Amino acid sequence: MLFYVISVLVIMADQVSKGLVRSHMLVGETLPFWNDYLTFTHYENSGAAFSSFQGYGRYFVIIAVGFVAAILYYRRKGEIKGRLMETAAAFLAGGAIGNAIDRFLFHKVTDFLVFGKSGGILNLADVAINLGMLLLVAHWIVSHFRQRKPYQL
């Protein structure tokens, strides 16, 4: 149940935030939010991460569907278990679906979060995917130390 709740919350937050940006900001418009740490800049990305593959974004819907299908398959098979893995998988699936919805409906993804002066621009689905990856890495690290034999002299 945790998986589905988190996935749906991620999708809803992502779609609502993108809808607000699309309806209240012009493309290219920037609003400072939190000093130099966070600004909102409306950007439309018709490609993939880092604006690569511009114009081919709709094909990433197929990849997202396959990715989410794989997550559901491995959950059903019992290979994704435990709160940390369930949470990681939920953030990954929710983020993938959130961006796939944009690509399917608009043939581009609405990005708007600029952290610091990095120049990178994200949306909440991207943040969820990054968080899911961090949680996966945390799970692998915790699992490694749990399975490790104590050092003996």
CA-to-CA distance for 48 and 57, rounded, in angstroms?
Answer: 6
Asked whether residue 109 is domain-assigned, the answer is yes
* Closest by CA position to 101, among listed 35, 23, 7, 25: 7
Q: Calculate the CA dihedral of residues 93, 16, 126, 4 and round it to 10 degrees.
A: -20
pTM: 0.86
The tens digit of pLDDT for each residue in 27-74 reads 988 888 877 788 888 999 876 665 555 655 677 788 899 999 999 999
pLDDT at 123 over 90: yes
Asked whether residue 117 is domain-assigned, the answer is yes
Catalytic member of 14, 36, 102, 126: 126
The tens digit of pLDDT for each residue in 88-103 reads 999 999 999 999 999 9
Asked whether residue 153 is domain-assigned, the answer is no
Q: How many domains does the chain have?
A: 1
Asked whether residue 89 is domain-assigned, the answer is yes
Examine the residue annotation and report whether 126 is marked as an active-site residue of this protein: yes
Examine the residue annotation and report whether 14 is marked as an active-site residue of this protein: no
Catalytic member of 14, 36, 102, 111: 111
pLDDT at 113 over 60: yes
Asked whether residue 20 is domain-assigned, the answer is no
Degrees, nearest 5: CA angle 7-12-17: 130
What is the domain range of residue 116?
Answer: 2-15+27-147
